[in-house]
Amino acid sequence: MKQSDRHKRLTELFCSLCEVNNITVDWCVGVNAADPFQDLISLRCATITTDAEFAIALHELGHHVTHRETYLGPRRVRERVAWEWSREACYANDVPWTEEMTAVESECIEAWRKHLDQGRTER
């Protein structure tokens, strides 16, 4: 999918936030993952073509940025802190947190809650 002008600007913002935090970005098709325990210097992301993809990319960057504060905490805390960081990054850069961003945040938090409700352990 082609990027709109808005999503090009959001991609530029995301890249600048990565640069400020010494994180390199590997752009992949259909992938959006970060594992700060494996690699604290790079992040794999899908091309940002929606507000939801931007929010997820920021959330994953948030894991890297807040890693030192939360790495010993429960996973649910790390997830919440990464989402809070992504919202704050938007506000600090005059980017409104849209309904689409709120929806994907809620979906991700609900998926993690269900994961725990099924008796899976936090890591």
Residue 87 vs residue 25, higher pLDDT: 87
pLDDT of residue 32: 54
Q: Rounded mean pLDDT of 90-96?
A: 97
Residue 63 domain-assigned (yes or no):
yes
Alpha helices (runs of H) in the chain, residue ranges in sequence order:
5-20, 51-65, 67-70, 75-92, 99-117
Residue 123 domain-assigned (yes or no):
no
Residue 13 domain-assigned (yes or no):
yes
Residue 82 domain-assigned (yes or no):
yes
| 104: confidence class by pLDDT, cuts 50, 70, 90 | very high
Could you read off the pLDDT of 32-89 as tens digits, one per residue?
555 444 456 788 888 899 999 999 999 999 998 988 776 677 878 888 999 999 999 9
**Average pLDDT score, the chain:** 85
Residue 122 domain-assigned (yes or no):
no
Total of domains in the chain:
1
Whole-model pTM? 0.84
Query: Which residue type is seen at 115?
Result: H
pLDDT of residue 71: 67
Give Cα separations from 11 to 15, 34, 56, 57 (angstroms). 6, 17, 12, 9
Give Cα separations from 92 to 44, 51, 59, 67, 73 (angstroms). 23, 17, 15, 20, 26
Task: Identify the domain containing residue 72 by its residue range.
Answer: 5-117
Listed residue (56, 49, 8, 16) closest to 32, CA to CA: 56
Q: Rounded mean pLDDT of 82-103?
A: 97
Q: Rounded mean pLDDT of 86-101?
A: 97
- Distance, in Å, from the CA atom of 24 to the CA atom of 40, rounded to the nearest integer, reads 9
Listed residue (87, 86, 81, 93) closest to 13, CA to CA: 93
Residue 54 domain-assigned (yes or no):
yes
